[in-house]
C-alpha cells in the first residue's frame, strides 16, 4: 500500500506535465489552493492514519475504522491548516520586522530564524486546537462505526471532551511531539517555496498518523 502510494505521487515529480499542473494549481491564491489542500491532506493524512493502524493492529483497515469519513475530515482539516499557514507565515514576519529583524534579507540565518518563529507561533497557538479537534472527530467517527452517515450526525462535544485521555493528549501529543517534532518539521516547511509547503505539511500527516498511533498505544497502557 505504501509503495503504491509513493509510486503514484512519484509520477507528479517524474512526469513533467503532471509536475507543471501540480505547481500551477498549488501556486494559485484562490479556491484552487484550498481544493488542493483538501486533496493533499485527504489522501496523505488518511494514509498516515492507516499506517498508524497497521502499527497498532497489524492491518491497514478494519470494520469501523472509516477510511472515507477520515479522508473527508482530513480534507477539511487540511483546508484549515492551509489557512493557518497563510495567516502565520504572513503575520509572524510582520511581528519580527516590528522587533527590528531584517526579514526581507535572503541570508540563510535570517530565513531560518523567520521559518522557526513561524513554526513556533503556528504550533503553540493553532496546533493544540487542531489536534484536539482532530481527536474529537476521530472519536466521533469510531463511535458511529466508521460509517459515512455517522460522520454527519451531531457531534457530542461535551461527552467526547469528558472521556478524552488528556494525560496522553497533553503529556505526549502536546508536550513532546510539538517541541521535539513539529517545531523542526515545520521550520523546514517554511523554508520551502510557498507552492510546496502544503504538500510537505500533508506528507508530515503521514508522520502524524504514526505519532497518534503511538499516543493511542500509550493511552491503552494507562
Q: What is the pLDDT of residues 21-76, one digit of tens each?
A: 666 666 656 677 788 889 888 888 888 888 877 777 777 777 888 889 999 999 99
The rounded radius of gyration (Å) of the Cα atoms in the chain is 18
Distances in Å between the alpha carbon of 59 and those of 42, 70, 131?
Answer: 20, 16, 24
Taking residues 1-17, report their average pLDDT.
Answer: 58
pLDDT level of residue 14 (50, 70, 90 thresholds): low
Q: Give dist(CA 206, CA 53) in Å, integer.
A: 12
Would you say the pTM of this structure is higher than 0.85?
A: no
φ and ψ of 100, to 5 deg: 95, 5
Longest dimension (CA), the chain: 56
Res 24: pLDDT: 66
At residue 190, the 3 state secondary structure works out as: coil
Q: What is the pLDDT of residues 105-131, one digit of tens each?
A: 999 999 999 999 999 999 999 999 999
Domain ranges across the chain: 30-221
Amino acid at each position: 500500500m505504501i509503495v503504491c502510494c509513493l509510486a503514484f505521487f512519484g509520477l507528479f515529480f517524474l512526469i513533467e506535465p503532471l509536475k507543471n499542473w501540480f505547481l500551477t494549481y498549488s501556486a494559485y491564491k484562490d479556491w484552487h489552493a484550498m481544493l488542493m489542500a483538501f486533496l493533499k491532506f485527504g489522501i496523505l493524512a488518511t494514509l498516515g492514519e492507516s499506517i498508524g493502524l497497521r502499527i497498532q493492529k497489524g492491518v491497514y483497515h478494519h470494520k469501523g475504522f472509516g477510511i472515507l469519513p477520515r479522508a473527508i475530515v482530513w480534507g477539511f482539516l487540511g483546508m484549515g491548516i492551509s489557512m493557518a499557514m497563510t495567516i502565520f507565515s504572513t503575520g509572524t514576519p510582520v511581528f519580527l520586522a516590528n522587533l527590528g529583524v531584517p526579514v526581507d534579507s535572503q541570508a540563510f540565518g535570517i530565513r531560518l530564524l523567520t521559518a522557526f518563529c513561524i513554526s513556533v507561533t503556528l504550533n503553540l497557538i493553532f496546533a493544540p486546537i487542531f489536534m484536539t479537534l482532530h481527536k474529537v472527530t476521530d472519536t466521533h467517527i469510531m463511535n458511529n462505526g466508521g460509517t459515512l452517515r455517522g460522520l454527519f450526525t451531531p457531534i457530542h462535544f461535551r461527552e467526547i471532551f469528558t472521556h478524552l485521555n488528556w494525560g496522553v493528549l497533553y503529556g505526549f501529543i502536546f508536550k513532546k511531539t510539538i517541541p521535539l517534532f513539529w517545531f523542526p518539521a515545520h521550520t523546514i516547511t517554511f523554508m520551502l517555496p510557498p507552492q510546496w509547503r502544503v504538500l510537505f505539511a500533508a506528507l508530515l500527516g503521514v508522520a502524524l498518523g504514526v505519532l497518534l498511533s503511538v499516543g493511542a498505544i500509550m493511552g491503552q497502557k494507562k
